[in-house]
Amino acid sequence: MAAAAARWAPVVGLLGLLLLPFAPAPAGAATPARSPPSSASSAVFLLSGDVYPTGHYYVTMNIGDPAKPYFLDVDTGSDLTWLQCDAPCQSCNKVPHPLYRPTKNKLVPCANSICTALHSGSSPNKKCTTQQQCDYQIKYTDKASSLAVDMTNKWGKMVQHQQQQTACLGLGGDRNYYSPGSATLYFDRRSLSTKPMEVVFDSGSTYTYFSAQPYQATISAIKGSLSKSLKQVSDPSLPLCWKGQKAFKSVSDVKKDFKSLQFIFGKNAVMEIPPENYLIVTKNGNVCLGILDGSAAKLSFSIIGDITMQDQMVIYDNEKAQLGWIRGSCSRSPKSIMSSFP
């Protein structure tokens, strides 16, 4: 499976494709041995949800024996898959179905190699409270956390339901996250004069996060380019919002007043971020910036969240350690999007 990434091309030319390797693991981190390619197989999952107001995208899967439907947030920023369990559950979200009930014969023992790998990765400071079960704790960038025990189970076929997310489907790969490396940030094809920064693709994050310097540079560039018809206003949805002369109904009503951002990786791999990939329109009719300040979470890298992944087909090639993307309407199938390009 090839990874496709858009790059610069002459206006009259054809859009080219480029392969980007994953960013190297941090110094000192263990690099897992790669297994030989398995026989070809695939699964197609229906994504439900949205950036606003739902705040996440999720799939529905049948889990357990007998199988029951659960709604899992698709998260490429984590390699851990979890469900809310009735063990009992503390500080859990309200769910439209009974919580998962674990049984003792499904518990992973502390001495199991799965538990050892989990503790060395997601929970390096967490130890088992008993040898009969594998305890873990993981904390996320938004200060949410998951404290639980590891289990084995049966995963059934995907089913289609329109309900809220109650669990996490971790798709983060060998390093817990995916990154094509460092990129330089541009606004309206002009450099913002910020240092190159590592960029992480995280479908578990609703919005996009920039570290301190690029965030402030982006805010200054956007404010400096806006027309006087837009007035900054307070809105509970996001920190930075504007109102127009009348309430906006969609981003289409206001995107002409904003410029595109660009991430440039290496010499010619470009991620174009048009206004519709960093703006939302709230229920109050205001337009808000869906790029947030990552310095509060002490981020030293930038996160590409759901808002910026909209209408981007992203391909994660774990066997070849490559990552790529190409723009295309999500209403079309991946095969039809790829057939439009050489």
CATH code of 266's domain: 2.40.70.10
Give the residue carrying structure tokens 């295309």. Answer: 328
Q: If you average pLDDT over residues 274-298, what whole number do you get? A: 96
Do 66 and 111 fall within a single domain?
A: yes
Res 129: pLDDT: 82
**Rounded CA gap, 320 and 323, in Å?**
9
In this structure, the strands spanning 167-170 and 197-201 are: unpaired
Residue 53 lies in domain: 48-170
Do 127 and 61 fall within a single domain?
A: yes
CATH code of 136's domain: 2.40.70
Do 305 and 185 fall within a single domain?
A: yes
Most confidently modeled range among 94-103, 109-118, 131-140, 166-175? 109-118
Does residue 37 or residue 132 have the better pLDDT? 132
User: pLDDT digits over 27-84, tens only?
Assistant: 333 333 344 445 556 777 888 999 999 999 999 888 888 888 888 899 998 888 888 8
Res 122: pLDDT: 55
The answer to whether residue 34 is domain-embedded is no
User: pLDDT digits over 306-317, tens only?
Assistant: 999 999 888 888
Give the residue carrying structure tokens 């809310």. Answer: 84
111, 140, 170 - which closes a domain = 170
Handedness of CA 74, 79, 85, 89 (dihedral sign): negative
Give the residue carrying structure tokens 């024996």. Answer: 65
Do 180 and 110 fall within a single domain?
A: no
The answer to whether residue 309 is domain-embedded is yes
The answer to whether residue 40 is domain-embedded is no
Tell me if the pTM is above 0.75: yes
Do 201 and 139 fall within a single domain?
A: no
The answer to whether residue 41 is domain-embedded is no
The answer to whether residue 63 is domain-embedded is yes
Give the residue carrying structure tokens 């450099």. Answer: 191
Do 128 and 276 fall within a single domain?
A: no
8 Å CB contact between 176 and 140: no
Do 166 and 182 fall within a single domain?
A: no
Do 107 and 180 fall within a single domain?
A: no
Do 204 and 288 fall within a single domain?
A: yes
Res 167: pLDDT: 79
Lowest mean pLDDT: which of 56-65, 195-204, 243-252? 56-65
170, 197, 226 - which closes a domain = 170
Active site residues: 75, 202
Res 36: pLDDT: 44
151, 170, 189 - which closes a domain = 170
Do 242 and 311 fall within a single domain?
A: yes
Within 8 A by CB and 6+ apart from 175, the residues are: 22, 25, 29
In terms of Cα–Cα distance, which of 115, 125, 120 is closest to 149? Answer: 115
**Rounded CA gap, 156 and 65, in Å?**
9
In terms of Cα–Cα distance, which of 95, 125, 112, 116 is closest to 152? Answer: 112
Do 262 and 164 fall within a single domain?
A: no
Lowest mean pLDDT: which of 4-13, 166-175, 217-226, 323-332? 4-13
The answer to whether residue 202 is domain-embedded is yes
Structure tokens at 136: 């873990």
DSSP string, 80-142: --EE-B-SS-SSPPP-SSPPB---GGGBPPTTSHHHHHHHHHT-TT---SSTTS-EEEEE-TT
User: pLDDT digits over 98-126, tens only?
Assistant: 788 878 788 888 988 888 887 776 545 56
The answer to whether residue 303 is domain-embedded is yes
Determine if the peptide bond prior to 32 is cis (ω within 30°).
no
Do 57 and 126 fall within a single domain?
A: yes
Q: If you average pLDDT over residues 201-213, what whole number do you get? A: 95
The answer to whether residue 198 is domain-embedded is yes
Quote the number of domains for the chain. 2
